[in-house]
Structure 1
């Protein structure tokens, strides 16, 4: 990757940082659109595998960002990606949290916070759709993928199973060729 492309990568993550309401994962659909669809720096399988690998590892949710950066440009890509995604949101969070603590009971602030919940849910649903799409579009995996998605949704709504248990069960299903 050229220096100009590294700057482009940094600026993209810088902008995505400010849009990552609900965490960096909420920007995965936009990352997919840009890195896979527009720039062609990754293909669908590389993108999905990078996120799956990072999510399987212990640590914060944002760990998939340097994995994507590494896939696109090696160590320099990982460094550029993690600084780009962390810097603006960290500085903004520090500033806003100090400001908000002084105005905690203001009705407009409470309404704004309550309004962000549906936005976050919508962004996470879009992320799930982007990650499931390669499997749903493949006729060999379609039935298994849709069944696994449905079972996961039912389990999350009806049980108190930890998400990691469902991730592990999905991994077992994939290992046995169900998906």
Structure 2
């Protein structure tokens, strides 16, 4: 708790313990994470009221980056300021980061590129992303106009594959959404006070955009590998809407064609990431470790999550006025529809094309999908079954 500008050490320790327990047990992706947060922070501990939590979730859905991680950061900030947000993030994220770094180190030390379990993990990715597509399409493209925006995003990202395609598609979709949905019915909004100064928020936003434009320049001028890697992960964390599944094509296009790592290594890590709790963005820890050891894993994690920190701290004080703007709401509706198309594009290339090579693979993917969606088994069970099934396939 913040008292007279001072933060209690007991409060920070409490945030760390609670968020770490969530980081060890929160399986199931961002929607499930929000449910875990609501139960632990709102219903059980009453750190925020229902209105404040709803406002925070709305803000994080609007921003690019990992929504569940940003909600966790925001709750920590509401409890104990900026330092509370950092501590909350560490607790929620560190368990999966450590697990993926360890897996990547083991992966490098074994001759497993041709192992059947690798292909099994690729098929797991098919089932998981298919599930994500169905859920997001149902909520984000309920009408014909938004279905058309999703189709545009799908076609554009499939046929025009460059590092900037996704950014351009999102911008165009925002403009289309603004034109189509700028006259939505105005609803009464609840206001909420955030314990972050506007001057600090502006500093964070300036730093966010400064790094976004400066890092590519430094990358070209210096040709230093560490700067290039930091730039790739920072840009991926800055420009992705829709959460961890949508960051897949950005990361794949950054590192596989350039030879930083193989497609087998990439998809194996993506499959294993489904087995660990916490945010899917920790996939970066695995990628960085495969490329540059455990130091690379730490740098990659910092780089991909830094935009989430800067954006949540930079927008919290302004959210009350921003969220009541009807034009912003319309643009957001267009962006969310585009996310569905981008996700379908990633589902086809590289996930489907490198995983479903014969009818037996499709049948196995259908079994895994049913286990996940209809039998509602935990994701780690799906990963284990997928790996074992891959060996027998």
Correspondence for 2:338: 119
Asked if the contact 2:233–2:300 (Cα under 8 Å) also holds between the matched residues in 1, the reply is yes
Equivalent residue for 1:21, pick from 241, 244, 248 = 241
Q: Of the candidates 35, 47, 52, which is equivalent to residue 271 of structure 2? A: 52
Which residue, 146, 150, 170 being the options, matches 2:362? 146
- CA drift of 1:161 comes to 4.9
Are positions 1:82 and 2:295 aligned together? no
Q: Distance in 1 between matches of 2:374 and 2:381?
A: 15
Secondary structure at the aligned position of 1:42 is classed as: coil
* Normalised TM-score (structure 1): 0.78
For residues 275 and 322 of structure 2, the distance between their equivalents in structure 1, rounded to whole angstroms, comes to: 39
Superposition RMSD on alpha carbons, in Å? 2.7
What residue is the counterpart of 1:101 in the other structure? 320
Larger radius of gyration: 2
Q: Is 1:11 the counterpart of 2:231 in the alignment?
A: yes
| Alpha-carbon distance between aligned partners in 1 of 2:374 and 2:305, rounded to the nearest angstrom | 32
TM-superposition CA deviations, 1:87-145 (whole Å, max 9, x none): 12321233234322223222112112222222222232233332333222x4xxx2233
- The unaligned stretches of length 5 or more in structure 2 are 1-222
Cα distance in 2 between the residues matched to 1:102 and 1:17: 25
SS in structure 1 of the partner of residue 256 of structure 2 = helix
How far apart are 1:18 and its partner, in Å? Answer: 1.3
Task: Report the alpha carbon displacement of residue 150 of structure 1 after superposing the two structures with TM.
Answer: 4.8
Paired with 1:84 and 1:64, the residues of 2 have a C-alpha distance of 12
Residue of structure 1 equivalent to 2:74: none
TM-score in terms of structure 2 length: 0.38
Matched residue, 1:135? 355
What is the rounded CA distance, in whole Å, between the counterparts of 2:338 and 2:282 in structure 1? 22
1:82 deviation in Å?
Answer: 0.9
Q: Could you say if the C-alpha distance between residues 121 and 98 of structure 1 is closer, same or farther in structure 2, counting changes exceeding 3 Å? A: farther
Structure 2 residue matching 1:175: 3-state secondary structure: helix
- 2:321 and 2:310 map into 1 onto residues whose CA distance is 18
CA gap 1:24/1:4 in 2 versus in 1, 3 angstroms: farther
- CA–CA distance in 2 between the matches of 1:58 and 1:48? 18
Q: Distance in 2 between matches of 1:75 and 1:155?
A: 34
Higher relative contact order (CA 8 A, sep 6+): 2
TM-fit CA distance, 1:30: 2.2
For residues 346 and 280 of structure 2, what CA distance do their matches in structure 1 show? 13
- How big is the shift at 1:21? 0.8
Question: Structure 1 residues 171 and 95 mapped into 2: Cα distance closer, same or farther (>3 Å)?
Answer: same
SS in 2 for 1:90: helix
Instruction: Quickly say closer, same or farther: Cα 1:59–1:44, change in 2 above 3 A.
Output: same
Decide whether aligned partners of structure 1 residues 153 and 109 sit closer, same or farther in structure 2, where only a CA change above 3 A counts: farther
Match of 1:164 in 2: 378
Unaligned runs of at least 5 residues, structure 1: none
